[in-house]
Structure 1
Amino acid sequence: MQIEAIHATPGYSGFFFDDQRAIKQGATQDGFTYDGDPVTDGFDEIRQAGETLIVDVELADGSVHRGDCAAVQYSGAGGRDPLFRAEAYAPVIEGSVAEELVGRDARDFLANAELLEELEVDGSRLHTAIRYGVSQALLDAAARAEGRTKTDVLADELDTEPANEPVPVFGQSGDARYANAEKMFIKGVPVLPHALINSVEKIGPDGEALLEYVDWLADRSLELGPEGYDPRFHIDVYGMIGEIFGAPYDRDEVIDYFAALEEAAAPYPIQIEGPMDVGDRADQIEAMVELRDGLRDGSVGVDIVADEWCNTFEDVRAFVDAGAADVVQIKTPDLGGIHRSGQAVRYCRGTDTRAYLGGTCNETETSARACAHVALATDAAQVLAKPGMGFDEGYMIVENEMRRTVARRERAQRLANTDEVTADD
């Protein structure tokens, strides 16, 4: 079925763009905003409204299929593409991108998505947000043209075996780290709470505030969680452990702190995302390997999660090959085309690194649903509840999309089995 037209409409995403460097350098909060001047190129304010480009792909049968361009909350940081401005990029989608895709067969999802990865405009690759959003619409169009789920289209293209039940969802609390964690306990969320530990104030000058919080998590989960509840704690510290302790990361003081985190989380496992941010990929990998080796030598069972400087498919491969993390976050908007996120999950197969299909609070419900299919198609270790920082909405969107898809695939399989029996008779 042929692609007839492509349109782009500027809109809002599920959260905000934040200048991470300005925040790390001590910008103070003023209500929901921050005081001070931005330091990252492209920002007018330290916090500003998130943007998306709503992409519509029209097919020959008159159907319209949507994808949403999105960029992470901390755009322009850690080696990522610059701040995404929807108005500036709409002409690119309706111009150069449409010129390449209109007239092509919608069923050729992987070929169409790879074309976007190779396309250059004025000598530069398309912004990751454009590749991300347009590829979502292409996936939806391919599923329509083939009469199958997006999970099945992806699994065939990536040569993977889809999950037969929803992938564990990782809840993100935002700054409401106590109230939202309690909501997660009540709903039995399998991985939680993120906690947004992005300042010395939140972690404590010696890390004591985080230890108290983890201890509270363990106690409160026992009080509120459903019977048999066995969560995994996942805390994003935005490099703050590195800020308060410094290198080397395999020394006793650092390892003892991680041992204290493990003890506070007991009886549940805990993983720490972004323990340090040292400024570039090679040094970040070296620091993560040093910490991971130190934890192993000290028999400390805390897993570490790669985030900063682990953005592209090539970055994921470098962290996995170096054995730099127990878990890598595959930050979906940063990889460009949505199929690239699936390929990154697949690359973790057969290694001792688990794949966390992440992303950002600054996406949309459309991109979140598309990512749910990537998670199912690749059977990722966990998938982020998104968009937004309210938790409930993102959890509902991602969890329900997976449940609906699993149920649909089960019905299709039962029907196929019935038809086989009838044919045999």
Structure 2
Amino acid sequence: MQIKDILLAPGNGAFFYDDQDAIRSGAIQDGFIYVGAPKTPGFTVVRVPASSLSVGLVLADDKVVWGDMMSVQYSGAGGRDPLFDIKEISDLTSQVVVPRLLDVDASLYLDACAKVFEPFQHERLPLALEYGVSQALLRAAAHLRRMTMAEIICSEFDLPLPTHSVPIYCQSGDAREINVDKMILKAVDVLPHGLINSRQKFGTDGQTFMEFVRWVSMRTRELGHPGYQPVLHFDVYGWIGQEIGLAPQSIADFICKVAESVPGFTLNIEFPADFGSTQAQIENYAEIVSILDARGSNARIVVDERCNTLGDIRLFAEAKAAHLVQIKTPDVGSIADTARAVLICKANKVGAYVGGSCTETDLSAQASVHVSVATQADMMLAKPGMGVDEGFSIVGNEQNRLLAILNRRATENVGRKARCVTNAE
């Protein structure tokens, strides 16, 4: 078999794990930390430095390929897996996953993933573990078959080689104004996220939020080059529902009001409300989407919380319970399932946004780029970290390098076909 040994290396995620429940309940921000008692199981404080675990596959030719495991920023919230525990994940990897990895054909990507990720004691393996190992397996298949990771995805899912770039979405973190300026100067496709995760940031009846939205549109006109027209995307962490109420009509009315304040822009509103369960989220989001569509609004609903796994994504897509589904890569698990999720969204004519988390690493971000481009997702997150420059550079440069390789492949194929025709004549 091509895998002859496994390496594990502890690492750092690019941001922090945060207790969303505690923050939503009013934990006070003091500098960079949050003051107050944690509420989500596994958290000892509200904000915890993000950890990661790298898994390296030593191949028969001594090439080592890596993947990174980690959780998302708001671990344990909205039905997600609990806070990442390096020791627990490391032990499970060594005892259960390593023997399976040593017994698969790493050149057959989907087959290898299926065998390695079989349930253990009738339970699915932790999603963070699936995520990291599936990245390493994707790199192994690419190395063994002398392809890019994107080409492996295209081959395994019978997709044409892509020729177009995928729009990149940057997130601001709390340094909103400075990072918005950076995004505009760098002509980011989708911006700014905004981190509207508290009553203070949302404001009474959403006034503070609306003022920020108008400021972003104004700043875009001031600093952007002529013709620059980004999509405006704001994550409100359920605060429309918290402040305005959970009636779909009221939420839709508020979103329409925000959209009307920035004419000429497409407006994405992520996680407008939390209805308490996946089924309730689907039913109410579908109603909000229907209201916005009937009005011809330029606003779009993006689902995040309570849409975690591939099964969840299928339910939301089939119910048209969002205009755009965030495929939060560590929550989906195997990166092969991220590819499947994009294809499910496309089949149901729902937008596919390959997201993830600021807590990820350079390796997981690069692997996500290959899946996003191969499946031609509607947009992808600039990650890792909560700054603009680093994530935009990692994701943007990887995409450009990949497209350069794929364009060369396409040129070679055209030349090969031309030679075949000439020889036949």
TM-score range, shorter chain: over 0.9
Comparing 254-263 with 236-245, greater Cα deviation is found at: 254-263
In 1, Cα distance between the equivalents of 2:57 and 2:136?
Answer: 6
Compute the displacement of 1:156 (Å).
1.3
Which amino acid in 2 is paired with 1:224? L
In 1, Cα distance between the equivalents of 2:253 and 2:248?
Answer: 11
Q: Secondary structure at the match of 2:346?
A: coil
Comparing 287-296 with 325-334, greater Cα deviation is found at: 287-296
Which amino acid in 2 is paired with 1:318? L
Of 375, 378, 398, which aligns to 1:378?
375
Check the 8 A contact 1:135/1:337 in 2, yes or no: yes
Compute the displacement of 1:165 (Å).
2.4
Check the 8 A contact 1:54/1:67 in 2, yes or no: yes
In 1, Cα distance between the equivalents of 2:274 and 2:136?
Answer: 34
Q: Percent sequence identity over matched residues? A: 43
Q: Secondary structure at the match of 1:355?
A: strand
Q: Corresponding residue for 2:357?
A: 360
Compute the displacement of 1:266 (Å).
1.9
Which amino acid in 2 is paired with 1:238? Y
Q: Secondary structure at the match of 2:8?
A: strand
Instruction: Give matches, 1:260-409, under 5 Å.
Output: 260-409=257-406
Instruction: Give matches, 1:112-131, under 5 Å.
Output: 112-120=112-120, 122-131=121-130
How does the TM-score come out when normalised to structure 1? 0.96
Comparing 94-103 with 318-327, greater Cα deviation is found at: 94-103
Comparing 309-318 with 254-263, greater Cα deviation is found at: 254-263
Which amino acid in 2 is paired with 1:83? L
Check the 8 A contact 2:104/2:115 in 1, yes or no: no
Which amino acid in 2 is paired with 1:421? A
Compute the displacement of 1:422 (Å).
3.9
In 1, Cα distance between the equivalents of 2:136 and 2:5?
Answer: 12
Q: Deviations over 1:173-206 (max 9, x none)?
A: 1111111111111111011111110111101111
Instruction: Give matches, 1:5-404, under 5 Å.
Output: 5-120=5-120, 122-251=121-250, 254-404=251-401
In 2, Cα distance between the equivalents of 1:154 and 1:278?
Answer: 35
Q: Deviations over 1:43-97 (max 9, x none)?
A: 1111001011011011101100010002100001110111111122112222311
Q: Secondary structure at the match of 1:105?
A: coil
Q: Deviations over 1:331-358 (max 9, x none)?
A: 0001110000000000012323100000
In 1, Cα distance between the equivalents of 2:71 and 2:246?
Answer: 31
Alignment gaps of 5+ in structure 2: none
Comparing 289-298 with 190-199, greater Cα deviation is found at: 289-298
Check the 8 A contact 2:162/2:406 in 1, yes or no: no
Compute the displacement of 1:298 (Å).
3.5
Q: Deviations over 1:2-41 (max 9, x none)?
A: 1111121111111111011111111111111111111111
Q: Secondary structure at the match of 1:303?
A: strand
Check the 8 A contact 2:265/2:298 in 1, yes or no: no
Compute the displacement of 1:134 (Å).
0.4
Check the 8 A contact 1:162/1:379 in 2, yes or no: no
Compute the displacement of 1:297 (Å).
3.5
How does the TM-score come out when normalised to structure 2? 0.96
Which amino acid in 2 is paired with 1:149? T
Q: Aligned pair count?
A: 422
Which amino acid in 1 is paired with 2:330? P
